[in-house]
Structure 1
Amino acid sequence: MQPTAQPQAAPAGRAAMGPAYLIWMGVGLFGSLALFASLILGLRVTGNLPPPAFSNSLCADEKLGFMREHPVPTPNVLVIGSSVAWRHFDGQTVAERAPGVRPLNGAFCGLHANQSVFVANWLLDRETTVEQVLMIVDPLDFAGCSTVATAVFDRRDADAYVYGQGSAWLPYMRYFSPGSLLRNARTVKAQRAGQVEFDPLVFNRYGDGPLDTQNSRELLYGQPEPLDPTCFAALDSLAQRLKREGRPLTVVATPLHPQWKAEHESRGLLLAEFDSRLRQTLAHSGAQFWNADTDHRISETAFVDAIHLRWSAAQALSVDIAARLAPASQMAVVQRQ
Structure 2
Amino acid sequence: MKQSAESAKKEGTTDPAKVPPGYLLSLFGGMFGALAAFCLLLFGLQATNNLPPPAFSNSLCLDEKLDFLREHPVTAPDLLVVGSSVAWRHFDGAAIVEHFPGAKPLNGAFCGLHANQSVYVANWLLDREPTVRQVLMIVDPQDFTGCWKASNAVFDRNDVDQYVYGHASRWGYYMRYFAPGSLMRNALNVKDQRANLIEFDPLVFDRFGDGPLDTKNSRGLLYGQPEELDPGCFNALQSLASRLNREGRPFTVVSTPLHPDWKAKEDPSGVFLEKFDSELIEALKTTQAQYWNADKEWRTARTSFIDAIHLRWSAAQAFSTALAQRLHVGQVNQDRPLTSR
Give the TM-score category using the shorter length. Answer: over 0.9
**Deviations, residues 305-337 of structure 1 (Å, cap 9, x unaligned):** 000000000000001111111132x23x77xxx
Task: Give distance in 2, aligned partners of 1:152 and 1:13.
Answer: 46
Bigger mean CA deviation after superposition, 129-138 or 20-29: 20-29
Paired with 2:273 and 2:16, the residues of 1 have a C-alpha distance of 73
Q: How does 1:1-337 map to 2 (within 5 A)?
A: 17-328=19-330, 330-331=331-332
User: Residue type of the partner of 1:317?
Assistant: F
**1:30–1:293: structure 2 CA closer, same or farther, 3 Å change rule?**
same
Change (3 A) 1:248 1:19: same
Q: Which amino acid aligns with 1:44?
A: Q
- Deviation per residue, 1:126-159 (Å, 9 max, x gap): 0111111000000010011111111100111110
SS at match of 1:274: helix
CA RMSD of aligned residues (A): 1.9
* 1:262-321 deviation line (CA, Å, top 9, x unaligned): 100110001001111111111111200000000001010000000000000000000111
Residue 19 of structure 1 deviates from its aligned partner by 3.2
Tell me how far 1:180 sits from its aligned partner.
Answer: 0.5
4+ residue runs over 2 A deviation: 10-26
Deviates more, 1:10-19 or 1:165-174: 10-19
CA separation in 2, counterparts of 1:17 and 1:283? 71
Output the amino acid matched with 1:239: A
Distance 2:220 2:38 in 1: 40
Letter of the 1:116 partner, please give it: S
The answer (yes or no) to whether the contact 2:225–2:266 under 8 Å persists in 1 is yes
Paired with 1:165 and 1:243, the residues of 2 have a C-alpha distance of 32
- Measure the CA separation in 1 of the matches of 2:186 and 2:251: 36
**Amino acid corresponding to residue 39 of structure 2 in structure 1:** A
Q: Which runs of 5+ in 2 are unaligned?
A: 335-341
Q: Residues 15 and 116 of structure 1: is their aligned pair in 2 closer, same or farther, counting only changes over 3 Å? A: closer
1:77-99: CA deviations, max 9, x gaps? 00000000000000011111122
Q: Which amino acid aligns with 2:191?
A: K
Distance in 2 between residues matched to 1:226 and 1:296, nearest whole Å? 25
The amino acid of 1:206's aligned partner reads F
Q: Hey, what does 2:338 align to over in structure 1? A: none
Write the distance in 2 (CA, Å) between the matches of 1:44 and 1:100. 36
Q: In structure 2, the residue corresponding to 1:234 is in which secondary structure?
A: helix
Q: Judge conservation of contact 2:97–2:103 (CA < 8 Å) in 1.
A: yes
Shift of the 22–227 alpha-carbon distance from structure 1 to 2, 3 Å rule, reads same
Report the TM-score, using the length of structure 1 for normalisation: 0.93
Query: Deviations for 1:58-94, whole angstroms, at most 9, x for unmatched residues?
Result: 1000000111100011000000000000000000111
Q: String of CA shifts for 1:231-280, please: whole Å, max 9, x gaps.
A: 00000000000001010000000000000001001100010011111111
Scaled by the length of structure 2, the TM-score of the pair is: 0.92
Q: Which amino acid aligns with 2:262?
A: W
C-alpha distance in 2, partners of 1:327/1:167?
Answer: 35
Query: Share of identical aligned residues, percent?
Result: 64
The aligned residue for residue 339 of structure 2 is none
> Does the Cα contact within 8 Å between 1:98 and 1:323 map onto a contact in 2?
no
SS in 1 for 2:325: helix
Q: Secondary structure at the match of 1:95?
A: helix
